[in-house]
Structure 1
Amino acid sequence: MGFEYEKIKNWPIPEGHQNYSANDCILYALSVGAGAGDPAADLNLIYEKKLDVLPTMAVTMASQGTMWVADPKTGIDLSKLLHGEQYLTIHKPLPSEATVKSRSYVQEIYDKGVEKGSVMMLAREISDADSGELLATCTSAVFLRGNGGCGGPASGQPVPQPIPERAPDVVIDSISREEQAALYRLTGDTNPLHIDPKFAAMGGFPKPILHGLCTYGFAARAVISAVCDGDPARLRKFNLRFASPVFPGETLRTEIWNEGDGKAAFRTFVVERELLVLNNGYAEFDPA
């Protein structure tokens, strides 16, 4: 079946549910590099006695409805689908244990033409299942390179955050481990691209690549360290564009610019290949 703007814009995405505990929060922190090299430096993220939750854990929560795009009835060409950008708004710091539910919906589909494809903005609102209180909103920009000409609006897509034309205020290097992707899979993303060498080769990669959202978590840890004095509860927004894949074991260098008024810009490189992997990063945080 063909890809139709109105049909996809109003697709009934199933509600998601998840129970999580302090152990899940610690697992997520470990999966995005917390504790590597110096566990004491990240004690607040990996020790249950006084546990802070990384806000980017929200992107893994109650995501059961995300695979609706694989339904053949959507007409989405999965071979040309690309997760291009990720946005996160934290409405309230995540508790260390809770039952949460999610409501997912297509915000908009921007039509770039038959040759260029479309950009689908897919949102997921995560709420406390008991109180109904909204905790976080995760929004993904999904490039549908094989689904252009659908009739959606041609303009209005969010504009990427520009990177300042000056030296960064802070530069933080983070170690990823050879088993990083295998560990991150335990948070719920079991795509074989990140574990199976044969599957990775089919995608044109010499070995399995790191999840983009794992690299996203690495960058968040760096930004929280640089502008939030290591306090995850101060982070309010965390947006970026994915530029290139990362291989487990590579060193991630995040450059951060404190723009004042609780705003920061950032980008991330792989040191070994001198390659930009995350770009147009934008964060908002509670000033000290």
Structure 2
Amino acid sequence: MPIDPSVAIGADLGARTFSWTESDVLLYHLGIGAGARAGDNLSADALRYTLDDAALQVLPSFGVVAPTFHETDPPPLDLPGCDINLAQVVHGAQSISVSGPLPTSGTATIRTTLTDIWDKGKAAVIWQEGVATSDATGEELWRVRSSIFVKGEGGWGGDRGTATSVEVPEREPDHVSSYTVTPQQALLYRLCGDRNPLHADPDFAKAAGFPAPILHGLCSWGIVLRELTDGILGGDASKVGGFTGRFSGVVFPGETIRVSGWRTDDAIIGSAAIEGGERDGSPVLADCVLTPA
């Protein structure tokens, strides 16, 4: 069987030590669209993402990509008990929680565990969790949890898992904005350590069932977090304590993402969909929750 839950669930995926610099932070922010709007090159608020001065801040979503930021090979899928390949895989969900504002440079170690595998019949969902700690202080910096959706690998009679949908308030959103994905956005974002050919190679994308390369799910995820941070939290990344979202659809370079956000008593609920064109209204990100710091 390509997936053996008895081997995979609970497997320690080991520890990885990594470092990042201000240049990595700047590239990541550019990869998720910071500085792309007219006038951003002159805006003090926008330059907090894209200028390496004393005001530079780090959007917490950077923590998800920081451990593999300098990878140049396609992401490996050598998970214990899982014989799968990239063409079968799409990102399912992603969350991060931070202990405080992330430093603009540093060294950390992340330890990751494969926590769950769900049997969805025609697919499997594989969950991982990781904890990153500062090598300088030993303090926890952030925690991540993510899932991948593996097509064609379900049906062994395993646990189907649980899923809790986030209800969007039945009122007008407190924030609505639109971001148009640039034609080269996926080619830029892949320099942040994700060289999956699904996002760059037209032939690979077609073999995986897509008419063209798609934007990285984590790029869409970062765009939505940035738009909500800018629109509701005044662009202050230090006010973000955590962010979670489920990947509910794909984005093709050149399309526009419409982001909506609702303030609640203890969180910001978000959603994202395609705006305009033949796929107007198609979902991008669902079950989004931004937890303020």
Task: Please give the TM-score of this superposition, normalised by the length of structure 2.
Answer: 0.88
**What SS does the aligned partner of 2:14 have?**
coil
Q: CA RMSD in A?
A: 2.2
User: 1:7: how far off?
Assistant: 0.6
Q: Which is worse superposed, 126-135 or 19-28?
A: 126-135
Q: Distance in 2 between matches of 1:26 and 1:78?
A: 28
| Deviation per residue, 1:238-278 (Å, 9 max, x gap) | 111111111112221101011123x0111111112312211
| Other-structure match for 2:106 | 98
Structure 2 letter corresponding to 1:55: P
Paired residues of 2:19 and 2:106 also in contact (CA < 8 A): yes
Q: Conserved in 1, the CA contact under 8 Å of 2:77 and 2:85?
A: no
Structure 1 residue 103, shift from structure 2 partner: 0.6
Alpha-carbon offset, residue 167 of structure 1: 1.8
What's 1:32 paired with? 32
Provide Cα deviations, 1:85-139, integer angstroms capped at 9, x if missing partner.
1111112211000012111101222334xx2443322112122122221111111
Q: Secondary structure at the match of 1:24?
A: helix
Structure 1 CA distance for aligned equivalents of residues 128 and 256 of structure 2 = 30
Say whether 1:134 aligns with 2:140.
Answer: yes
**234-243 or 33-42: which moved more?**
33-42
SS at match of 2:133: strand
In the alignment, which residue of structure 2 is the partner of 1:163?
Answer: 168
- Counterpart position of 1:84: 92
**1:193-242 Cα distance to aligned partner (Å, 9 max, x none):** 11112222222323211100000010011111122211001101111111
Distance 1:187 1:166, change over 3 A: same
Give 2:50's aligned residue: 46
CA distance in structure 1 between the partners assigned to 2:119 and 2:213 by the alignment: 32
Structure 1 window deviating more from structure 2 (135-144 vs 18-27): it is: 135-144
Q: CA separation of 1:71/1:154 partners in 2, compared to 1, >3 Å: closer, same or farther?
A: closer
C-alpha contact (below 8 Å) 1:9/1:106 kept by paired residues: yes
1:28-69: CA deviations, max 9, x gaps?
0000000002322411011111200111011102147x9553
Q: Distance in 1 between matches of 2:203 and 2:126?
A: 30
Structure 2 CA distance, aligned partners of 1:8 and 1:214?
A: 28
2:9 maps to a residue whose letter is K
Alignment of 1:118 onto 2:124: yes
**Contact map agreement 1:111 1:118 (CA 8 A) in 2:** yes
1:207 is aligned to 212
Mapped contact 2:7–2:81 kept (Cα < 8 A): no
Count of aligned residue pairs for this structure pair: 281
Task: Percent identity, please.
Answer: 33
The DSSP-based 3-state class of the residue aligned with 1:15 is: strand
Q: Give the 3 Å change call, closer, same or farther, for CA 72–120 of structure 1 in structure 2.
A: closer
Within 5 Å, give how 1:134-153 maps onto structure 2: 134-149=140-155, 152-153=158-159
The residue aligned with 2:250 is 245
Secondary structure of the corresponding residue to residue 165 of structure 1:
coil
Give unmatched runs, 5+ long, in structure 1. none
Contact 1:160 1:241 in 2 (8 A): no
Secondary structure in 1 aligned to 2:261?
strand
Measure, in 1, the Cα distance between the counterparts of 2:156 and 2:135.
36
Instruction: Measure the CA separation in 1 of the matches of 2:211 and 2:163.
Output: 33
Superposed, which structure 2 residues align to 1:184-263 within 5 Å?
184-261=189-266, 263=267
Higher helix share: 1
Write the letter of the residue equivalent to 1:255.
S
CA distance in 1, matches of 2:269, 2:77: 31
Q: Residues 5 and 150 of structure 1 are in contact (CA less than 8 Å); yes or no, is this contact kept in structure 2?
A: no
Q: CA deviation at 1:164?
A: 1.8
Which ranges of structure 2 fall in alignment gaps of 5 or more residues? none
Q: Tell me, in whole angstroms, the C-alpha distance in 1 between the residues paired with 2:248 and 2:108.
A: 31
